[in-house]
Amino acid sequence: MGIIKTDKLVFEYIRRDEEGNVEGITRAVDEVDLDVKQGDFVAILGHNGSGKSTLAKHINAILYPTEGAVWVDGMDTRDEKDLWNIRQEAGMVFQNPDNQIIGQVVEEDVGFGPENMGVPTEEIWERVEESLKAVGMYAYRKFSPNKLSGGQKQRVSIAGVIAMHPKCIILDEPTAMLDPNGRKEVVRAVRALNDVEGITVVLITHYMEEIIHADKVFVMDKGKVAMEGTPREIFSQVKRLKELRLDVPQVTLLAYELQRKGIELPDGILTVEELTQHLLQKYHMK
């Protein structure tokens, strides 16, 4: 069994009126089977409302299955005695940084997690420094978080999770509010955590180019997993992705447009280097 496993996971939001009568039911996750290997970098894509956040909240036991089951490192998330172990092993970064920051000073905020875990003081400061540097916010360590702009806050909350040294980190659109440079820094930091520390990464995003290095991509549609494969396999299917309200990186789209206009290129080109190489070859043959 992988570090994260779900078996026919179903989750329904139930809306009730004041008297408690059921007003409506939304099946947000619908029979999802996931199996994520320890050390993998997994990406989850999907249209708005497709169930990504709901699925993510099951991984660190914020939500519990309506049907089916979820295991984290072999622990059933419904088992109350494992709740804190699960939350420590699976760290989560949410979409909106405003709800995640509690400290009065940036470095304090980042230190909260390790402090609660009982990490020795000296090591806490090491972790705070390394995490803040990883997201490019070290210069702001003495700032008050509520005086930071949106993008700056988001980087602090990522540092807060990194400082806990979790086995697995789930990031729910962590870069949605960042500038191009901040996005690159965060993706680089997350990739380094994955490569160097072997931390399992689950990245939810609407930025297609952020996940070209993922080991595996899941595409959600109306609560179900609609596609599953490597980035190249997924991004080769431009039409299918567009039907699912998604897109491909600009370089992939450009290659696809050139293909349609009669230039022979392989499907699923993912990087600028690849495209340059193929076009150059064609150009010299001409």
Partner 1 sequence: MSIILDHVDYVYGEDTTLAVHALNDVNLVIPDGQFIGLIGHTGSGKSTLVQHLNGLIKPTGGSIYFNGEDIHAEGYDKKKLRSKVGLVFQYPEHQLFEIDVFKDVCFGPKNLGLTQKEAELRAYAALKQVGLEDEYFYQSPFDLSGGQKRRVAIAGVLAMKPDVLVLDEPTAGLDPKGRDEILDQVAKLKEETGITVILVSHSMEDVAKYVDRIIVMNQGSVLYDDVPKEVFKHYRELEDVGLAAPQVTYIMQALHKSGMPVATDATTIEQAAQEILQIFF
Rule CB under 8 A: is residue 116 a binding residue for partner 1?
A: no
Question: Which residue stretch of 103-111, 193-201, 227-235, 256-264 sits at the interface with partner 1 (rule: CB under 8 A)?
Answer: 256-264
Sheet holding 22-36, edge to edge: 22-36, 4-16, 67-72, 75-76
Rule CB under 6 A: is residue 26 a binding residue for ligand ATP?
A: yes
Work out the number of other CB atoms within 10 angstroms of the CB of residue 38: 14
Among residues 152 and 157, whose Cβ is nearest to ligand ATP?
152
Rule CB under 6 A: is residue 149 a binding residue for ligand ATP?
A: yes
Question: For residues 142 and 75, what is the distance between their CA atoms, to the nearest angstrom?
Answer: 38
- According to CB under 8 A, which residues from 89 to 108 bind partner 1? 95-96, 98
**CB of 53 within 8 A of CB of 31?**
no
Q: Where are the alpha helices (DSSP H) in the chain?
A: 52-59, 83-89, 106-116, 121-134, 150-162, 180-197, 231-235, 238-243, 250-260, 272-285
Contact residue for partner 1 among 92, 209, 216, 227 (CB under 8 A): 209
Work out the number of other CB atoms within 10 angstroms of the CB of residue 253: 16
Interface contacts to ligand ATP, rule CB under 6 A: 13, 15, 26, 28, 46, 48-54, 147-152, 179
Interface contacts to partner 1, rule CB under 8 A: 13, 15, 24, 46-49, 53, 95-96, 98, 144, 147-152, 173, 176-183, 206, 208-209, 242, 245-247, 249-251, 253-254, 257-258, 261-263, 272-273, 275-276, 279-280, 282-283, 286
